[in-house]
Structure 1
């Protein structure tokens, strides 16, 4: 089921809604030209439905549209980017090598 992903600039987070109900969020810190992605949380009752991946993908697309790079501090976001290399270009250049190294070690 497709989620509605919304950017809540005031709270510095991307929010996932299913049928008008908040089911999760991805928090970030605005660093100017980059966003530090700090935490992803999905309502436990909504777990196992792929909502976390939809939320991260929606947030990354939103940040891409804003022209921001990302620093994935959240392990879920880092893992998502490793599995979806089309988003690696969004990762701040100083962090890309670290993600690539982690990917090789996990194989």
Structure 2
């Protein structure tokens, strides 16, 4: 059974870690609505892509998936290398997550201060 990162009974939204598939998943009322692929390198998670399936778009689910994932990784002392433009945009709008980006292995992340 995947680890639950976030659960909201009122909206029936659950975010979980499917370690077998190497992805964080978001579901609504038990139906998978999207996922974020990742790789594990030591204590670092390499975030590859975020997908919200067509039937679930426009509900803010990518933000719930990303925030829940980043909060989970922060609590567990992980860092990230980011290759997902959606995660990049989320971090730019929520700079409190910049500290999760691995300085030596940032992925495609470009610090706002260097732009």
Give the TM-score of the pair, scaled to structure 2.
0.81
Q: Which residue of 2 aligns with 1:68?
A: 78
Instruction: Provide the secondary structure at the position in 2 that maps to 1:11.
Output: coil
User: Could you say which structure has the higher helix fraction?
Assistant: 1
Deviations 1:26-83 (A, max 9, x none): 1101011111100100011110110011101111111112211011101111111111
Q: Give the one of 13, 17, 38 matched to 2:23.
A: 13
Structure 1 gaps, min length 5: none
Number of residue equivalences: 103
* Greater RCO, 1 or 2 (C-alpha within 8 Å, sep 6+): 1
- Aligned-residue Cα RMSD (Å) equals 1.9
Give the TM-score of the pair, scaled to structure 1.
0.87
Change (3 A) 1:60 1:2: farther
